[in-house]
Structure 1
Amino acid sequence: MVHFSQAVTAILLATGVIAHPGGNTNKDVLRRQAHLDHPNRRTVASCKRDLVESGWVREQHIRREARLHELRVAAGFAKPHELVRRDPAEAEANFGQAAACTLDPEQTEGPYWVSGELIRQDLLTGEKGAITHLDVNIIDTSGCKPVTNAYVELWGCNSTGVYTGVKARGNGDGSASAIVTNALRGIQPTGANGTATFITVIPGHYVGRANHLHTIVHHGAKLLPNNTISGGTISHVGQFYVDQTMLGQVEATTPYNTNKQVQTKNAQDQLFNMAKQGGDDATLKISLIGKTIADGLYATIDVGVNPSAKRTPQPVNFWTEKGGIPVPNSPWTGYPDGCRYCGFGKNKRNAEAEAEAEPVVEDAE
């Protein structure tokens, strides 16, 4: 797998593929390759036996079935007594093989990460779209146990491909209207089972990238009185994707079908293709709550992390009550025209050099 991965990396670097409007993924590809090549790297699948024997897989399977049923009852599509359970042994046998069962991609935070977000489950803040109840399950791949008391940060663009909390030429129409809201951004703690729960929407598309959500996993952070977190370390920077067939159905609904930006499909997105290497799968497992997408969705994904690893993503803005404000000396400042991570000319060479020099800290088992 390593030899094939390195060959693909060389092709991607040669083509200078697009990361976001106006930039490319050279730095992201190099960082992902370094992670794939690390000798101590483990995935969720490598913990299958431990997670099955501890009962975690069975408990998660039962909990997810109950959660989906609860959502269906609340929406009027099922009665409380109508829960039909699948044999947990089948879930145990298939764990680590089906889509959305492993994730460890280590990808870019992108140019639109806004730090200082609020601890909250419902991220909608008035945004419309395919409402999604998302469970993100964090697993320590160095000890093969769920990660408790971590903070999972989640953000994505809205149904028409615009990120909130930022103003940039490549962000939708480039206007400042989105900078005053933090819709579709937030943080949730993991519970005793390692799960953080959100309510968001399936992200729309924008030029150069397939539809995706961003995530960061924080450890040892302090909860502040203003309902944000500070300090600690970051073990994981990743992106979640959506099956192309499901995306086709979502994109046909309102307001997604009003988006005039050119759509990039999964197969055309080089970061999506890199994320599938090394036994990983960054695709959400999604179920309909009712009969149609408009009735809501339930999604899950398992994220493998090494809590001892230390990543250093860089935010472009910091969230305040007045909206997003610039972070001094952010490498994303001026995106996509003149930032250090933009990926053109001198900036392209700088991005590649920084990625090659960037330490990938993974403690041995």
Structure 2
Amino acid sequence: MVQFSQAFAAILLATGVVAHPGGNINKEIMRRQAHLDHPQRRTVQSCKRDLVESGWVREQHMRREARLHELRVAAGFAKPHELVRRDPAEAEANYGEAAACTLDPEATEGPYWVSGELIRQDILTGEKGVVVHLDINVIDTTGCKPVTNAYVEMWGCNATGVYTGVAAKGNGDGSKSAITTNALRGLQPTAQNGTATFITLIPGHYVGRANHLHTIIHHGATLLPNNTISGGTISHVGQFYVDQTMLTEVEKTTPYSTNKQTQTKNAQDALFNMGKQGGDDPVLKISRIGSKVEDGLYATIDVGVNPKARQNPQPVNMWTDKGGIAIPNSPWAGYPDSCRYCGGGFRPPTE
């Protein structure tokens, strides 16, 4: 069990830092610490032997190489016969040394989760920026097998640090212009190999947080005729990050370079630093499709979950054909000035 450390205490005391403008991330940090201290916590590394012996690691390594090559061929940066493979044994030996995992949430849902999003792979909806083809592998760390019956939900801000589907002070200019679109939001089912695939953007930055993507893992949900899901349970609420060197390159491109908000780098982000503890690594593994980031990127990450865990994140809005509408009595309503979750109070994870 990981004990509360001096480093953690320093982070907590220093959190005049905000999760979003006006917010306080003490709650998110304490939830992450609760995850690290959980007596039954298991990581992807705990499943290394089983995943290697079952052939899953080798299969995923070869599939990811083929997928990157496919993207390069489609973009004109490679020929079909030019696929070069790395020794799968090397990938097996190194697997799990730095892999994202969770039993309890890595972080909270934040004030801009919009429920009722559509099942779709391409979630760009006209937004411009550095396109990333993202594969998320979901692994059951209690049985060391891929999770094949889940829905992965993904959302992030656009290149200039604005979340769609919501209107709030601090979300860009605070206007309602973004509330009528669901760009950069959606869900995908996990396939037989446990993989959910999205086409999205490298997120921009906003005051107080490093660039990051949000994710929620749903289990046992029902697919509805309108291409959304209902019911089921949620085992994981987390955030993914991007290597700082690549972010520096991305932020020099348009429209990221037009963002006038103060940028918080990974090393300055308390939640990023907490996410790196306990053997976890919430940083996407990214490969270039071409020579420049503008040519597109291919990213992967493995997420370990306990499908029986029960989390209760709270949306601020629900997506409809008329745009985002407020959820009655949402604890995020009024963010960042008057919501019930605006302060630093700790809301403990549920099981």
Q: With structure 1 as the length reference, what TM-score do the two structures score? A: 0.94
Q: Does 1:135 align with 2:151?
A: no
Matches of 2:169 and 2:106, distance apart in 1: 26
How far is the alpha carbon of 1:93 from its aligned partner?
A: 0.5
Q: 5+ residue gaps in structure 1?
A: none
Is the Cα–Cα contact under 8 Å of residues 9 and 30 in structure 1 kept in the other structure?
no
Matches of 1:8 and 1:178, distance apart in 2: 38
Is the Cα–Cα contact under 8 Å of residues 6 and 33 in structure 1 kept in the other structure?
no
How far is the alpha carbon of 1:222 from its aligned partner?
A: 0.2
Deviations 1:232-291 (A, max 9, x none): 000000000000000000000010000000000000000000000111000000000011
Other-structure match for 1:124: 124
Other-structure match for 1:103: 101
The amino acid that maps onto 1:180 is T
How far is the alpha carbon of 1:108 from its aligned partner?
A: 1.2
Is the Cα–Cα contact under 8 Å of residues 31 and 349 in structure 2 kept in the other structure?
no
C-alpha RMSD of matched pairs (Å)? 1.1
Q: Does 1:296 align with 2:327?
A: no
Deviations 1:50-102 (A, max 9, x none): 0000000000000000000000010011111110110000000010125xx33
Matches of 1:122 and 1:262, distance apart in 2: 29
Is the Cα–Cα contact under 8 Å of residues 114 and 315 in structure 1 kept in the other structure?
yes
How far is the alpha carbon of 1:360 from its aligned partner?
A: 3.7
Other-structure match for 2:321: 321
- Superposed, 1:160-239 pairs within 5 Å as 160-239=160-239
Task: Count the aligned residue pairs.
Answer: 348
The amino acid that maps onto 1:15 is A
The amino acid that maps onto 1:84 is V
State the SS of the aligned residue for 1:58.
helix
Q: Percent identity?
A: 78
State the SS of the aligned residue for 2:174.
coil
Matches of 1:24 and 1:292, distance apart in 2: 36
Other-structure match for 2:335: 335
Other-structure match for 2:58: 58
Other-structure match for 1:10: 9
State the SS of the aligned residue for 2:179.
helix
Q: With structure 2 as the length reference, what TM-score do the two structures score? A: 0.97
Matches of 2:151 and 2:26, distance apart in 1: 29
Matches of 1:90 and 1:197, distance apart in 2: 25
Structure with higher helix content:
1
Matches of 1:285 and 1:25, distance apart in 2: 26
How far is the alpha carbon of 1:26 from its aligned partner?
A: 1.2
Q: 5+ residue gaps in structure 2?
A: none
Is the Cα–Cα contact under 8 Å of residues 164 and 181 in structure 2 kept in the other structure?
yes
Matches of 1:106 and 1:40, distance apart in 2: 15
Matches of 2:261 and 2:349, distance apart in 1: 36
Matches of 2:87 and 2:58, distance apart in 1: 9
Matches of 1:15 and 1:65, distance apart in 2: 42
State the SS of the aligned residue for 1:126.
coil
Is the Cα–Cα contact under 8 Å of residues 244 and 265 in structure 1 kept in the other structure?
yes
How far is the alpha carbon of 1:8 from its aligned partner?
A: 2.9
Is the Cα–Cα contact under 8 Å of residues 312 and 350 in structure 2 kept in the other structure?
no
The amino acid that maps onto 1:324 is G
Is the Cα–Cα contact under 8 Å of residues 45 and 102 in structure 1 kept in the other structure?
no
State the SS of the aligned residue for 1:179.
coil
Matches of 2:87 and 2:12, distance apart in 1: 46
How far is the alpha carbon of 1:359 from its aligned partner?
A: 4.2
